[in-house]
């Protein structure tokens, strides 16, 4: 099975009306050009979401203006030149096939066949239980048998609801109430997973070494039959932004040893044929992924005529050639972590959860080394578990957290985290050392911090910027911060808008409690941080964390808060990556990175877990960095770097 290193992903969704598909395509020139970039892995369309095939298919619909086997020529050239080729097929959308076979398309819960708005590729979606499923599987088998492909990327296998006669019949047989929309959605998700599994079984029967990824089912749901993972993140596109990749990268590395690809794009959004983002933007995203064990993958649009986009490939070549000089320190490196954010949800929740994003940003700004864990992965290696805002406890979550605490390790939670799903009590009430009283109605809520955790905080009432609960501290629990109520809550009394709501007096209601190794914030501080970026909330959290983790793996000085630092290891060495890039909101909606930010006189201290290093240097140049060992830390000064520094501690 191929291990992807430097990848390209081409969209090639082509309207049936396009008159000149493939007329200028030269497979030799194209593969020579991407080979010059150092690309070893290419994803390319065998059949697009318009339902058009780009190979000599006996099953599907070949594009009417394509006069030869374009995918076949590409596959043969890639095979000769050592470029692994994955065949893209859209599983959930195939417009032309759906147009010719209406019985293959979904029937929405409200009886419509077409989605609104009409001007979208998703106007017509496919039913996974219609004859389309066998048709799609047959196309996968046809490609696997006839072309030297390394794998398949099956896209858009989302749970599109369907109440066609075939789906309704099976739902009735399974005792599913097809009249309830949420039940129909669950069945559709089940159908997508089942189809994915059947595609994988058919493909592996032809070639057991295929790389397989299904875009739709969660990573956990395809763990048994998928063989690699893709993270699609285009920060300038709607729904992504620069908070997306940090959350996904810290989560995806907990899912096992499968290859993980970090797919960004050369454009500003999918469907944008004329966009080429700045070099610094693309490079920063790929470096972030490489620092977290993800291989670079740049998405682009293939011109249906086959024109080579020289400017695009020049930019990718420049970036990839620079990254490849550091490949010895990227290859098979594993991140070092000692904390975890506990979030037992699905990938669909992880992608967009605002409290989770607040927690990730806070820990990244504090340069902490952490993962995001669901119940899929092991939690035993972590010293501190952070449970953000709204994580209620299932039996399994409670069991794991209780074992963690019994092992003398620490927990920091906030809001209603730790409560039962009914939100009536804390599941581990004795361990938390608090009793739930009621929802807190302070709007806005303020807090005052005692002397144990007020380092760096101004001596004044501080805002929480979030909702929360009222708790009672049980015997043995210390209250380290108290809530301050406002004079009056925000409201309209028929005459006045109560908008100006100053703090009144400190109450005896806990805002922060400590019970042995468990700290709890009564209010949703990560939601507050995500909303308002209150530095005071981060400082308070950092003071609590320092109590439980006084000697973290990595300490830094003179690094700006926007800089990111990641520790990793390979046999015989440890590595610290530092990134210094700032996304700036420009115009109405676009976050932009246009240049790297220089950093001068950064100080790095890596905990000495074993023998001291023989040498410390900057890669790839090999410039030696003087170091000292003090208080069980290896201390290094980095005089200057611009955007990125790769510091190697060689044993």
CB contact burial 566-579 (16+ within 10 A = b; e otherwise): bbbeeeebbbbbbb
pLDDT over threshold 90, residue 334: yes
Distances from the Cα of 32 to the Cαs of 26, 313, 401, in angstroms? 10, 11, 54
Q: What is the pLDDT of residue 199?
A: 98
Q: Per-domain residue ranges for the chain?
A: 7-324, 337-548, 554-650
Question: Is the entire prediction scored with pTM above 0.75?
Answer: yes
Q: What is the pLDDT of residue 393?
A: 97
The span from the CA of 624 to the CA of 613, in Å, is 12
Q: What is the pLDDT of residue 600?
A: 97
Which residues are 90's β-sheet partners?
155
Query: What is the pLDDT averaged over residues 60-66?
Result: 98
Q: What is the pLDDT of residue 165?
A: 97
Q: What is the pLDDT of residue 347?
A: 87
Classify strands 7-11 and 41-47 as parallel, antiparallel or unpaired. Answer: parallel
Nearest to 292 by CA among 25, 565, 612, 649: 565
How does pLDDT run across 415-449, given as a tens digit for each residue?
A: 999 999 999 999 999 999 999 999 999 999 999 99
CATH topology of domain 337-548: Rossmann fold (3.40.50)
Token pair for 627:
């170091």
The span from the CA of 71 to the CA of 343, in Å, is 42
The domain made up of 554-650 is a member of CATH 2.102.10.10: no
The span from the CA of 83 to the CA of 478, in Å, is 61
The DSSP H or E segment spanning 592 is: strand 590-592
The DSSP H or E segment spanning 505 is: strand 503-515
pLDDT band for position 238 (cuts 50, 70, 90)? confident
Scanning 449-534, the segments in alpha helix (DSSP H) are 525-532
Q: What is the pLDDT of residue 346?
A: 87
The number of residues in the chain equals: 651
Average pLDDT value for the chain = 97
Question: Under the phi-then-psi rule, with left for phi > 0, alpha for psi from -120 to 50, and beta for the rest, what region is 508?
Answer: alpha
Nearest to 391 by CA among 429, 353, 360, 361: 353
Q: What is the pLDDT of residue 407?
A: 97
Domains 7-324 and 554-650 share a fold: no
Instruction: Collect all residues with Cβ–Cβ distance below 8 Å to 251 and sequence separation of at least 6.
Output: 343, 347, 350, 371, 372, 373, 374
How does pLDDT run across 5-62, given as a tens digit for each residue?
A: 999 999 999 999 999 999 999 999 999 999 999 999 999 999 999 999 999 999 999 9
pLDDT over threshold 90, residue 239: no
pLDDT over threshold 90, residue 482: yes
The span from the CA of 57 to the CA of 300, in Å, is 25
pLDDT band for position 589 (cuts 50, 70, 90)? confident
Query: What is the pLDDT averaged over residues 331-337?
Result: 97
Which residues are 411's β-sheet partners?
385, 518
Instruction: Collect all residues with Cβ–Cβ distance below 8 Å to 531 and sequence separation of at least 6.
Output: 354, 358, 465, 466
Cα dihedral across residues 441, 447, 452, 453: positive or negative = positive
Nearest to 549 by CA among 493, 607, 594, 503: 607
Query: What is the CATH code of the structural domain delimited by 7-324?
Result: 3.20.20.80
Query: What is the pLDDT averaged over residues 269-281?
Result: 94
How does pLDDT run across 171-215, given as a tens digit for each residue?
A: 999 999 999 999 999 999 999 999 999 999 999 999 999 999 999
Q: What is the pLDDT of residue 129?
A: 98
Q: What is the pLDDT of residue 348?
A: 85
Instruction: Encode 102-118 in three state secondary structure.
Output: HHHECCCCCCCCCCCCC
pLDDT over threshold 90, residue 160: yes
């Amino acid at each position: 099975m191929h291990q992807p290193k430097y990848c390209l992903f081409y969209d090639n969704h082509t309207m049936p009306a396009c008159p000149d598909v493939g007329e200028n395509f030269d497979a030799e020139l194209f593969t020579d050009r991407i080979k010059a970039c150092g690309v070893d892995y290419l994803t390319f369309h065998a059949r697009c979401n318009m339902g058009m095939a780009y190979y000599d298919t006996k099953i599907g619909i070949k594009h009417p203006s394509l006069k030869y086997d374009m995918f076949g020529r590409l596959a043969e050239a890639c095979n000769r030149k050592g470029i692994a080729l994955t065949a893209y097929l859209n599983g959930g959308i195939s417009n032309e096939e759906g147009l010719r076979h209406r019985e293959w398309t979904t029937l929405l819960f409200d009886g419509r066949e077409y989605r609104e708005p009409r001007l979208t590729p998703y106007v017509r979606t496919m039913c996974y239980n219609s004859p389309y499923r066998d048709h799609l599987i047959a196309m996968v088998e046809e490609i696997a048998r006839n072309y030297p492909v390394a794998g398949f990327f099956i896209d858009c296998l989302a749970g599109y609801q369907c109440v066609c006669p075939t789906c309704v019949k099976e739902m009735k047989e399974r005792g599913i109430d097809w009249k309830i929309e949420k039940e129909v959605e669950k069945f559709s998700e089940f159908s997508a997973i089942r189809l994915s599994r059947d595609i994988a079984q058919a493909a592996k029967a032809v070639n057991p070494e295929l790389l397989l990824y299904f875009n739709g089912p969660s990573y956990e749901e395809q763990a048994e039959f998928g063989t690699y993972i893709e993270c699609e993140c285009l920060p300038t596109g709607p729904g992504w932004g620069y908070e997306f990749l940090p959350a996904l990268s810290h989560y995806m590395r907990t899912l096992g040893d499968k290859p993980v690809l970090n797919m960004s794009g050369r454009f500003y959004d999918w469907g944008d044929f004329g966009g080429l983002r700045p070099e610094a933007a693309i490079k920063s995203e790929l470096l972030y992924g490489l620092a977290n064990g993800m291989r670079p993958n740049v998405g682009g649009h293939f011109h249906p005529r086959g024109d080579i986009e020289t400017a695009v490939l020049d930019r990718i070549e420049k970036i990839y050639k620079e990254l490849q000089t550091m490949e010895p320190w990227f290859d098979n490196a594993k991140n070092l972590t000692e904390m975890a954010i506990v979030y037992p949800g699905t990938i669909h929740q992880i992608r967009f959860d605002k409290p989770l994003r607040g927690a990730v940003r806070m820990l990244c700004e504090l340069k902490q080394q952490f993962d995001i864990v669901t119940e899929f992965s092991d939690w035993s290696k972590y010293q501190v578990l952070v449970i953000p805002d709204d994580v209620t406890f299932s039996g399994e979550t409670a069991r794991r957290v209780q074992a963690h605490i019994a092992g003398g390790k620490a927990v920091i939670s906030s809001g209603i985290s730790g409560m039962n799903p009914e939100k009536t009590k804390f599941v581990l009430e004795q361990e938390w050392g608090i009793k739930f009283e009621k929802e807190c109605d302070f709007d806005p809520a303020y807090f005052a911090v005692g002397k144990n955790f007020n380092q760096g905080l101004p001596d004044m009432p501080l805002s929480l910027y979030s909702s929360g609960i009222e708790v009672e501290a049980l015997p043995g629990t210390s209250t380290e911060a108290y809530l301050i109520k406002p004079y009056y809550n925000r409201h309209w009394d028929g005459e006045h808008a109560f908008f100006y709501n100053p703090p009144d007096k400190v109450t005896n209601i806990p805002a922060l409690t400590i019970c042995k190794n468990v700290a709890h914030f009564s209010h949703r501080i990560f939601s507050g941080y995500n909303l308002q970026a209150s530095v005071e909330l981060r400082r308070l959290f950092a003071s609590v964390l320092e109590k439980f983790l006084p000697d973290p793996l990595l300490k830094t000085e003179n690094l700006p808060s926007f800089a990111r630092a990641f520790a990793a290891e390979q046999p015989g060495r440890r590595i610290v990556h530092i990134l210094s890039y700032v996304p700036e909101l420009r115009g109405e909606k676009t976050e932009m990175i246009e240049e790297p930010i220089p950093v001068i006189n950064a100080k790095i201290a890596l905990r000495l877990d074993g023998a001291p290093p023989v040498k410390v240097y900057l890669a790839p140049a090999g410039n030696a960095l003087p170091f000292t060992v003090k208080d069980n830390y290896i201390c290094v000064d980095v005089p200057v770097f611009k955007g990125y520094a790769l510091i190697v501690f060689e044993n």
